[in-house]
Structure 1
Amino acid sequence: MYTPVDVWNRIDVVTPPIQAYGKRKQNLYEPPLMKFAMSNSIEVTTVPEEGIRSWLLPQHYQTPSPTNILLTASFGHILPSSHLQMFESNRALNVHPSLLPKYRGASPIQYALMNQDEITGVSIQNLSDRGADTGALYKQQEFAIPPNSTFETLLSPLATLGGELLVQTLEGLLAGTLESIPQTEVGKSRARKISHELGALNWNKLNASMVYARYRAISHQQSLHTFLPPAPLTPSSHSSDVILTGLFDISLPPAPVPFPTKSSQQPSSKTDLLPGQTFYSKAQNALVVQTVSGQVLVGSVHVAKRSNRVDARQAWLGWKDQGRITDGFVQFVSPPGSE
């Protein structure tokens, strides 16, 4: 978008503000667009703490003009009608990373991965005050999702595709050769914001591929977690919220090593365990967790109220010391509100 100067002569950028994150808020997250704009001497304003309705358009855009265009991409805010009215109907555009009307909403990439879609895409739409992501479409193109994609690995190629489609749209609008097509309501779906509840794993509902897909889709922003009950023979013990990291679907090639056999004194059958039942595999240096169908490997965990993540072996030895292991297993249970 920045390189083809034949489609613009002035750019102003608005982004969310720099945000502190992490323990004690010691780390700062600077939006990538803010970094890019500042490195190219482009004027940047940020959304006020009071919200987008408190943000004032730059002076240059406060009078409607056919040469002004509003562009949004993964902005995270719904612009009020008072802002949209400053732009002509075909001069307020949004780059949306899905094949609209599928996955209208805040998290289209995450839902495409969670639902194990093989195809996603990018849409260029009009911004509409009649509902989020319901505007008429100018451009749309499919994108095949590579196997084992994560949110991070899928974001970059979709952003590149979105930039190419946006430039094509602007060139078509400038030439007067591009018309929009109203969105159909057939096949519409919502991609709501990723909640804490989505990270809570329900072992009685999710199979291995679904757990692994959810891990690839949302673990960058929401940890996957489960619940470890108190040790049955230790009255002083308490339940723990356990964050699972380093997940892998054991049925997917290439598996790290073959599934443990009876010779290693670990269960060999993939069907004789209860959902949530978990054992440690020394050969794989991982926890093996039974889902409603299939198993996932867990390379490391972070137990709530502890500062450091530990690998599977350390976690297992700790649970052994705490008396949580019964007949070679611990039993993870689904947290309240899990999906």
Structure 2
Amino acid sequence: MNFLLRCHRFSRVSPKGYLYSHNARIAARYFTISACRQQQDKLKILFFGTDDFAATHLKSLLQEKDQPQSVIDHIELVCPPDRRTGRKLNVITESATKSLAKLHNIPIHHTPPEAKHLNDWTVPGQFDLGVVVSFGYFIPAAVIASFGKGAVNVHPSLLPLYRGAAPIQHTILCGDSETGVTVQELHDKEFDAGRILQQERVALTVDGPPRYTTLVKQLAHVGSHLLVDTLRNFDHHKNHAITQDITKATKAPKIKKEWSEIDFATMQAWQIDQLHRAIGEQSPLRTVFEFEHGKKSGKVKRPLTMQLLNIFLPKHSAMLSMSPRPRSGSFIFDPMSQAIHVMCADGQVVGASHIKAENKGKTTAKEFMNGYTVGDIGRFGTASDEMVAPNTIHPIVKRLKMKPYPQM
């Protein structure tokens, strides 16, 4: 069997779009390096990306470029302009990819300021391949056509599952037992609908229920190696690409702020914990707390929005032995965990070690209890606010049909 046939045997994608096995992929890399990539011209790449996930992939391409038998000749970056951040918008922040590109002295091109699309944008030179990772813009057909070999994208899901801006968050919300990374061709009419060049599966729940901040780094590592492996024998993978099965496609739309609203009267403890692990780092979960503050005319009740931070499922809680059982939304301070414990709709408890009131800095649970003179027991969600509709199923729980992860 010659080298080219062996490359095809070990690195091709199965009919379901998955690589056959981890060992097969290692073998594919060996044959790709030893034979296949010698027949491929070096690539001039225009990289499109913004955040840390994209920067991990850009770093892998830069490292590949420095290898003796690299398939990469040249790399340039396209990213959004620097943006103003901070409470007073007085801090200028550049993207993670731009910071990396400056360290490696590669050319940087910004998208037009305030641009909503790239329909009028012109490619800054001649390139063989576009590589798009966590960029945020749809790449128009004219831009894709300007690259001699088209453009590819790294997407952190097993496409056609979870097409969209937030695949990792939706994977956790739905309680999936596995996820993965896909290297796909860019589709010129639709996000995440291109032919599959390679995929790698990643098992979840091995070390406990997944958390976004950990999983995104793991998938970035997997994706960056898969991307380099794809480029090392790009023509082969392109010739054996698999069309996505549209009947199996699911959506993973952008996370909305209202998804972070907690209704303790309808949500179970595990649902709140899982929602926190999926979106809490980006959109901290929030509820309403009604407290009294003094005025000359007497005490006045005022509802405040509170963010609950570092949410977890306590193994033990004094609330569970109280008689009668506290109403949902009731909370106490637990000295052992130094956290507040909150009663949920299923009679179970969630904990939160820190709390942040609107327009205030975050405080520890003990500081919150003392600062708002809560007493022995307080209650969230008591105000007739517009955040949560009482006695209704939480919209995210209902829409996603959440499934719990096994607790370790």
* Interval containing the TM-score (normalised by the shorter chain): 0.7 to 0.9
Q: Contact 2:141/2:189 (CA < 8 Å) preserved in 1?
A: no
- How large is the RMSD of aligned CA atoms in angstroms? 2.6
Counterpart Cα distance in 1 of 2:274 and 2:359: 27
Q: Which has the higher helix share?
A: 2
In structure 2, C-alpha distance between the alignment counterparts of 1:336 and 1:86, rounded to whole Å:
49
The amino acid that maps onto 1:330 is R
Worse overlay, 37-46 or 3-12: 3-12
Q: Where does the alignment leave 5 or more consecutive residues of structure 1 unmatched?
A: 62-67, 261-265
Q: Would the alpha carbon gap of residues 183 and 269 (structure 1) be closer, same or farther in structure 2, given more than 3 Å must change?
A: farther
In 1, are the aligned partners of 2:307 and 2:356 still within 8 Å (CA)? yes
* 2:259 corresponding residue in structure 1: 198
Question: How is 1:1-339 mapped onto 2 (pairs within 5 angstroms)?
Answer: 1-5=61-65, 6-51=70-115, 52-53=117-118, 54-61=120-127, 68-87=128-147, 91-145=150-204, 146-175=207-236, 178-229=239-290, 231=292, 236-250=300-314, 255=315, 258-260=316-318, 268=321, 272-293=325-346, 294-306=348-360, 308-320=361-373, 328-332=377-381, 335-336=387-388, 339=395
Structure 1 residue 314 displacement after superposition: 1.7
Q: Using the alignment, how far apart are the partners of 1:112 and 1:55 within structure 2?
A: 34
Conservation of the 8 A alpha-carbon contact between 2:144 and 2:150? no
* Shift in Å, 1:270: 10
Gaps of 5+ in 2: 1-60, 396-408
Q: Does the 8 Å CA contact 1:72/1:94 hold for their aligned counterparts? A: yes
The CA deviation at 1:7 is: 1.7
Q: Any conservation in 2 of the 1:102–1:188 contact (CA below 8 Å)?
A: yes
CA distance in 2, matches of 1:271, 1:236: 29
Q: In the TM superposition, what is the alpha-carbon distance from 1:271 to its structure 2 partner?
A: 9.5
Instruction: After TM superposition, give the deviation of residue 237 of structure 1 in Å.
Output: 2.4
Q: Is the 8 A contact 1:225 1:244 kept in 2?
A: yes
C-alpha contact (below 8 Å) 2:317/2:349 kept by paired residues: no
CA contact (8 A) 2:180 2:201 kept: yes
Q: Which amino acid aligns with 1:185?
A: I
TM-score by length of 1: 0.84
CA contact 1:278–1:332 (8 Å) conserved in 2: no
Identity level (%): 25
AA matched with 2:317? F
SS of residue paired to 1:236: strand
Q: 1:50 to 1:303 in 2, by over 3 A?
A: closer
Opposite residue 263 of structure 2, the aligned amino acid is N
The Cα of 1:148 is off from its aligned counterpart by 4.1
Deviations 1:80-110 (A, max 9, x none): 222123235x521100000011111001111
Q: How many residues align?
A: 316
